[in-house]
Amino acid sequence: MNLTFYKKIALGAVALILGACGDINSSWEVKGGGYIKYTFNDDGPYTIELAKNDVEPPFYVNNSHHYFYLCTRIDESKRGDQISLMVNNPKTGTELTPVGRASLNGRYQYVTWMREQFSPEAPLITEKSTVKFDEIIGDSLWTADLDLYFKDCRSGSCSDSLPPLHFKGRLRYWVPADER
C-alpha cells in the first residue's frame, strides 16, 4: 500500500465527520422550536413540529405577559391537526387548567382549541383538561404533559351530545439560543 491510499482514507474520514457535524447548529436547541407528540382518542402517536414563532413563553424577549401560549400551524401536521393552547402562570409540578376563553380586544374568544383533520375549531372542555409542566428552564426549555378534552366538532358543527375528544401528549419547546 502506498501513502496515497492512506491519504484518501484520511480525507474520506474527515469529509464524513464534517458532513455529520454540518447541521449541528441547526437543531431546535439552537434555532428554537420543538414538537408535540400526541395521541388523539388513543389513535397515534402523531407529531406536530413547532417553529420558534409558534410559542410565546411568559416574559419572553419583549413581552411582559404571564401566560404560556402556543398555536401550531396546520401545515405542520400530516393529518391536518392544529392546536391552540394557553396556560396562565405556568409552574412546574402542578396540574394546571388551561385557559378556555379570554377577552381579546373586548370580546371573549376561545383561546384553547383543537382542529382534528381540518375540522372546525373545537373548544376546550376546561373541567377535564390539565397541563403539567415538569421542566421549565425559563430562558431555554419548556416541557409539559398535556391531557386535554375538546368538544366534538368533526361533523362541521360542535355537538355536546357526542363524547369529548381526548388529546394526550408531550410538549417540548426550546427558546432560540440568541434570544436567551
Position 15 in a domain: no
Which pLDDT value is given to residue 66?
86
Residue 3 has pLDDT above 70, yes or no: no
Each residue's pLDDT tens digit, 64-85: 678 999 999 998 888 999 999 9
**147 lies in which domain range?**
35-179
Q: What is the mean pLDDT of the chain?
A: 85
Cβ of 151: how many Cβ atoms within 10 Å?
A: 21
Question: For residue 23, is it within any domain?
Answer: no
For residue 10, pLDDT over 80 is answered with no
* Residue 124 grid cell: 376546550
In a domain, 57, yes or no: yes
Residue with cell 458532513: 19
Neighbouring C-alpha atoms within 13 Å toward the C-beta of 121: 14
Q: How far apart are CA 180 and CA 177, in angstroms?
A: 6
Pairing of strands 113-115, 82-88: antiparallel
CB distance 144 to 136 below 8 Å:
no
Looking at the chain, the whole-number percentage of residues with pLDDT higher than 90 is 62
Instruction: State the virtual CA torsion across 134, 139, 140, 143 in degrees, nearest 10.
Output: 20
> CB atoms < 10 A from the CB of 32, how many?
22
Secondary element (H or E) of residue 172: strand 165-174
**Average of per-residue pLDDT across 149-155:** 95
For 21-53, what is each residue's pLDDT tens digit? 544 445 655 567 899 999 999 999 999 999 988
pTM here?
Answer: 0.80
d(CA 72, CA 53): 9
When divided into structural domains, the chain yields a total of: 1
- Identify whether 93 is part of a domain: yes
Is residue 17 a part of any domain in this protein?
no
- Number of residues that make up the chain: 180
Element (H, E) at 95: strand 95-96
pLDDT at position 25: 46
Is 138 contained in some domain?
yes
Res 20 pLDDT > 90:
no
